[in-house]
Amino acid sequence: MTTQSEKAKAFRDLHQRKGAFVIPNPWDAGTARLLAHLGFEALATTSAGFAFSQGRPDGGVTRADTMAHVRAIVGATELPVSADLEGGFGDAPEDCAETIRQGAASGLVGGSIEDSTGRKDDPIYAYDRAVERVRAAVAMARSLPFPFTLTARSENFLWGRPDLADTIKRLQAFQEAGADVLYAPGLKTREEIATLIRAVDRPVNILAGIPGALSVAELSEIGVKRISVGGALARAAFGAFMTAAKEMRTAGTFTFTDTAMPSRELNAIFAGWQTS
């Protein structure tokens, strides 16, 4: 069995090698095992995908819910797992630190803290507060007996604040606070991504699908180090589910079964994990 320290070092090494790597986002143990079966090298949780799987909106799960989810994902494969830890489940820097501590105790080798408050009327933490929160998370990460990879996220673009200058200013401050990876989900153009990468000195994570036209090779050429998909895989699965259900409900037909994954294939994959 691979130890947490070994997973942490392997995950850190992915950020040091040449080119970009894809870190897909499962939302339960089954999808984690399917992604491992396909040969991905690391996994990241998705707060949105997990919330949707629980019948809740994004942001509608607690820290305790998230840690139980983390343990399920970590226990499903031998791959390194990083987690979407949202805003650290509290306003205070100490809340962010405690979330990192609990995440590491649950088996994570990495995790992200964002500057979003989760409040529609005041969606982004003030600059100084945001930096304090990242600094506290970093301090906790550095106290661990293995190299926990701390990702700091600036959420401006997801909350109707497409201010690239402020986003870069925040990520630069997060870098100075000690963050290992920087992430600004919602960037839409090659130029925005390139401008960010030129302005920082840490590996940058980009959310695929925004911009959807850029491939792994193209993002790698720009200088992106890590590519995630957030809740997109979960939304794709829910989209297929709804299409199939609507066909049954409105047309009374079942053509969706023609493209459904065969039970024998799923059984073979999961049986392999059960006996490994």
Which range (10-14, 212-216, 257-261) has the least confidence?
212-216
What is the mean pLDDT of the segment spanning 78-96? 98
Does pTM top 0.85 for this prediction?
A: yes
Residue 178 is predicted with a pLDDT of 98
Is the pLDDT at 128 greater than 80? The verdict is: yes
Residue 69 has pLDDT above 70, yes or no: yes
Residue range 20-64, pLDDT digits in tens: 999 999 999 999 999 999 999 999 999 999 999 999 999 999 999
As a whole number, mean pLDDT of residues 127-151 equals 98
pLDDT at 212: 66
Residue 37's identity, in one-letter code, is H
- What pLDDT was estimated at residue 150? 99
Q: Is 144 helix (H, G, I), strand (E, B) or coil?
A: coil
Q: What is the pLDDT of residue 213?
A: 81
C-beta atoms surrounding 201 within 10 Å: 10
Of residues 188 and 148, more confidently modeled: 148
Rounded mean pLDDT, 169-198? 97
> Is the preceding omega at residue 211 within 30 degrees of 0, hence cis?
yes
Bridge partners, residue 205, by sequence: 183, 226
pLDDT at 275: 57
Percentage of residues in the chain having pLDDT higher than 90:
96
**Given a cut of 90, is residue 88 above it in pLDDT?**
yes
Across 157-172, average pLDDT: 97
Using CA atoms, how far apart are residues 115 and 125, in angstroms rounded to an integer? 6
Asked whether the predicted pLDDT for residue 148 surpasses 70, the reply is: yes
275 or 89: which leads in pLDDT: 89
Residue with tokens 């940058």: 204
Confidence of residue 276 (pLDDT cuts 50, 70, 90): low
> Using the 8-state DSSP alphabet, how is residue 93 labeled?
H
DSSP per-residue string spanning the chain: ---HHHHHHHHHHHTTSSS-EEE---SSHHHHHHHHHTT-S-EE--HHHHHHHTT--TT---HHHHHHHHHHHHHH-SS-EEEE-TT-SSSSHHHHHHHHHHHHHTT-SEEEEESB-S-TTS-B--HHHHHHHHHHHHHHHHTSSS--EEEEE--GGGGT---HHHHHHHHHHHHHTT-SEEE-TT--SHHHHHHHHHH-SS-EEEETTTTTT--HHHHHHHT--EEE-TTHHHHHHHHHHHHHHHIIIII---GGGGSSPPHHHHHHHHHHHHH-
Q: Which single residue is written with the structure tokens 């987690």?
A: 83
Residue 209: the pLDDT is 82
Mean pLDDT calculated for residue range 165-183: 98
| Domains of the chain, earliest start first | 4-231 (3.20.20.60)
Alpha-carbon Rg for the chain in angstroms: 19
pLDDT in tens, 244-271: 999 999 999 999 999 999 999 999 999 9
Mean pLDDT of the chain: 96
